[in-house]
Chain A
Amino acid sequence: SAVISQKPSRDICQRGTSLTIQCQVDSQVTMMFWYRQQPGQSLTLIATANQGSEATYESGFVIDKFPISRPNLTFSTLTVSNMSPEDSSIYLCSVDLTTSGRAYNEQFFGPGTRLTVL
């Protein structure tokens, strides 16, 4: 398993500002993911962040709006830029702990960052 922490746990921000969310894992992982959960909705993948390469964004999400950093195997950041009220969501990071010899392993999720944009 993995222990994942996120900072901040919640924030209230003004329209037009930016917020950077940090995700820290207690072990080295290759693949990290960022999801968004809008109020009352399910989780939607924003991007996949692999160490040493550019993040891969899903349709509807762009790097200018959601820049991601992945400086090492235990850490990643997601920035929500030029925020609007529509960005009010829970943002969650997750890690894939696939081990050698296994085709797939479960993903572990961080506790999430609850963002409110006024």
Chain B
Amino acid sequence: AQSVTQPDIHITVSEGASLELRCNYSYGATPYLFWYVQSPGQGLQLLLKYFSGDTLVQGIKGFEAEFKRSQSSFNLRKPSVHWSDAAEYFCAVGHTGRRALTFGSGTRLQVQP
């Protein structure tokens, strides 16, 4: 069965600093990978996705993620964090045999002024 691990439960960064949120997956074949963001009281918004091709994918709000097959990772990055980025971030995985997504436990991002 596929699984997703987000090892960081809570991360605090200063506004303007760079950010990297970690995500590791477990799946035998090439998975489909996603990052979603959930702001307080809000639904889930898709930041970016990886299906195939270029392993560095660009998303909305200045986020990017890199798929590294050798490390089974799909880490999310942003060069300069804004206070509005404070939210919960979820990594998720899917594959052709299962349309539903498996979510990681989430990483709560706090941004200090």
Q: Which A residues contact B (CB, under 8 angstroms)?
A: 31, 33, 41-45, 48, 92, 94, 96, 98, 103-104, 106-112
Contacts and interface: CB of A to CB of B under 8 A. Distances in A.
A104 B44 contact: no
Say whether chain B's binding surface is mostly helix, strand, loop, or mixed. Answer: strand
* A interface secondary structure, majority: strand
Given A103-B51, A103-B96, A104-B51, A110 B103 contact: no
A104 B90 contact: no
Interface of B: 32, 34, 36, 42-46, 49, 51, 90, 94-96, 99-106
B51 to A, nearest CB: 6
A18 to B, nearest CB: 23
Given A103-B51, A104-B51, A42 B103 contact: yes
A42 B44 contact: no
Given A43-B90, A103-B96, A92 B103 contact: no
